[in-house]
Amino acid sequence: MVGFAGYAMPVQYQGIIAEHHQCRQHAALFDVSHMGQASLPAASSSALERVVTGDIAGLKPGRQRYTLLTNAEGGIVDDLMAARLGERLMLVLNAANKQADADHIRAHLPETAALTTGFDRALLATGCRLRRLQVPGEDLPGVLYLRTLPQARALREGLRRARDVVVVGGGFIGLEVAAAARQLGKPTLVLEALEVPLGRVLGEEPSQAITALHTGRGTRIETRAEVAAFEGDARGVVSERALTELARHFGFSITRVRDLPSSTRSVTELRNRTIFVAQRTDLPPRAARSVIAQTLGHFALGHGDPVDYESYVRQRVEANYFAGALLAPERALVPLLAEARDAGDLSVEDVRDVFYVSYEMAAHRMTNLLTRHFAIPVHFQRSNPEGILWKAYENDGVPLPKDRDGSLEGQRLCRRRAARAAVGSADPLRLH
């Protein structure tokens, strides 16, 4: 135990070896609760920007930003982190200066922006922003990343079903994943860009010892290796290349453009048989896959021009069903849902990440298959932050708001409904 900022900090417990085994065989947790904790109303974000350099008013619920605390001359006083949690801003201050930092912030805020301090929350370190590989095929369903809990679940499912495993990057996390894959008996290859894994952080001799430990247990490690592209797919899920081939089968080409209106996800030009979708910066690959599949569904199902609103809605629903069946095949999804049901762990996020589809499509697909195969009644709602209903479906008797003609779209949800409560929540993925 050592002293730090008035706290007795545990630097070591039973020893490095014992802690290593605890982490590998059970679990480990990094507790940073000694850091200073303060909060103020989210409506006071602009006022806080008087003394910090970051864009705090632009923070979305559940997001966090690292920023600098400054004095009147623009000099740096300290650094801190600001997180938007519902209608509050949570500030994480350095332990040694937390009282001084809080006093400095409070002195520059208006009286209406009351800053409160306390130590009633545990703070846990979870890492930084995910860095995706910028190579062709990085959006294939079989290419998995590890940062969030849903991604961890998808990785667990992927490792269980995989025949072979390739881990890109021989860092601490990459080697942990490789070790887990080998424990499952999977042939495992680690691709490392440096001359030796962990070379930057441990040095040559320790890195070589760890490399020998992994290779001695059957993991292949290739160094000075770079990934040029990913090819193929996983679990029978349609890859982007296969989707392009399907478009070609119907006589269409797919072109990404920059100048689509913000409210438009795709435009189909029939004369030249071209489907225009927004650039990756405006429309993420998983959303683009859903849009392309829905567009192709109209032609695969032989739809003509709708003659009235009823036929228009029917065609839209049929195209959505087609896209869901194409991108999240029943034969692959039903076993996954069965295992999740038995474990009491049904999750839309798992379906989204395993099949690389949008959250909305994953929810639609789960709604259909849970009812058909497992007789589980469900309801589905999608609304904007103000509670205006966009889409909804129920087979469990949940009352939905309707107008005098029976239409759901455009109706306002009660503020206590889960679909609306989740939007403003600090943790929108928990149960509401």
Provide the residue ranges of all domains of the chain, joining segments of one domain with +: 1-30, 33-126, 163-222, 240-320, 330-423
pLDDT at 212: 93
Residues in the chain: 432
**243 neighbors 289 (Cβ within 8 angstroms):** yes
Looking at domain 240-320, its CATH class is mainly alpha
- pLDDT, position 213: 93
Cβ neighbours around 102 below 10 Å, total: 19
Instruction: Please state, in angstroms and rounded to a whole number, the distance separating the CA atoms of residues 233 and 144.
Output: 12
Chunked into runs of 10 residues, the chain (432 residues) has average pLDDT values of: 75 77 69 82 88 89 88 90 87 89 89 74 57 75 76 82 88 89 93 86 82 93 86 60 84 86 82 86 76 90 89 89 89 86 84 83 88 88 80 83 82 78 68 68
CATH of domain 33-126: 3.30.70.1400
For position 329, what pLDDT does the model report?
A: 86
Give the CATH fold of the 163-222 domain.
Answer: FAD/NAD(P)-binding domain (3.50.50)
**Residue 232 has what pLDDT?**
59
* Per-residue pLDDT, 237: 61
**Per-residue model confidence (pLDDT) at position 413:** 82
Predicted TM-score (pTM) of the model is 0.49
What is the structure's pLDDT at 3? 79
Look up residue 5 and give its amino acid: A
d(CA 284, CA 351): 17
> Which pLDDT score is estimated for 385?
76
Question: 120 vs 10, 167, 360, CA distance in Å?
Answer: 20, 39, 36
What letter represents residue 400's amino acid?
Answer: L
